[in-house]
Chains A and B, each alone.
Chain A
Amino acid sequence: MSSRRSRSRQPGGSRITDDQINDLVSKLQQLLPEIRDRRSDKVSAANVLQETCNYIRNLHREVDDLSERLSGLLATTDTAQAAIIRSLLMQ
């Protein structure tokens, strides 16, 4: 098997080809808004991974903020219960 070892020196000896990684990286590239809008062809795999990490951290932070907001809303509004039930029924 002539699998070109890319920069990933996996200790377990798992054969990961460049092509496999490139496929997955380009899939991720489509998902990231930053890189998708930049429209340059010179995005390296390491860059994509870095942007992915940033994006995941951002999403975590957004979820945290939204949880805070929601818990605040639950605390203050009395009509929250009705609104939630209504949303539930609309599913």
Chain B
Amino acid sequence: MNSKRFSPTSSTIKSRFTRRFLRALLKINRQRTRTPSSPMEICQRYLKVKLAADVSMASAVGSRRAWSRAMLAKIRHGVRAGSTSSLAMRKRKIYHGKKSTKEVGIVGNAKVLRKLVPGGEAMDTCSLLDETFHYIKCLSTQVKVMTRIADQICST
């Protein structure tokens, strides 16, 4: 484990995320039952995969970033409590489109952004934009890695 000032390139975060996520997937896979899954089991497995992805990403980034710290704290506190309902709510929000405020301008959009970025509520605008930048980069890394994994499993 190297110095604190070393700022990791996205390839380092990518490989850390990939390793953690693959290990989590292995663990989830081992819990698979032989009998055909009920819908409840399918839903739970989907949630486990999603949670694993978020945890792997946040811990790959570590505590260097406010958003990863906020995400890890939220997961530790709220992983049992109603994670299903919040995910279901998020899906509904997405499919309804932008039902957010009609405010235009920087302040209005910054408010919406605060809700999207973990830990965004407690930041001032400058840090918010900074964290957003890093968060987007990590999210797109996450998508790329997950796509590659899914394709690889498909192709075997």
- Seen from chain A, the residues whose Cβ lies within 8 Å of a Cβ on chain B are 6-10, 12, 14, 16, 20-21, 24-25, 27-28, 31, 45-46, 49-50, 52-57, 59-64, 66-75, 77, 79-85, 87-88, 91
Contact = CB atoms under 8 A, between A and B. Distances in A.
Interface residues of B, number: 58
- Interface residues of chain A: helix, strand, loop or mixed (majority): helix
A66 B117 contact: no
Most buried by B among A45, A52, A60, A83: A52
B49 A71 contact: yes
B139 interface: yes
A3 to B, nearest CB: 12
B94 A57 contact: yes
A75 B142 CA distance: 21
Given A14-B124, A21-B126, A68 B46 contact: yes
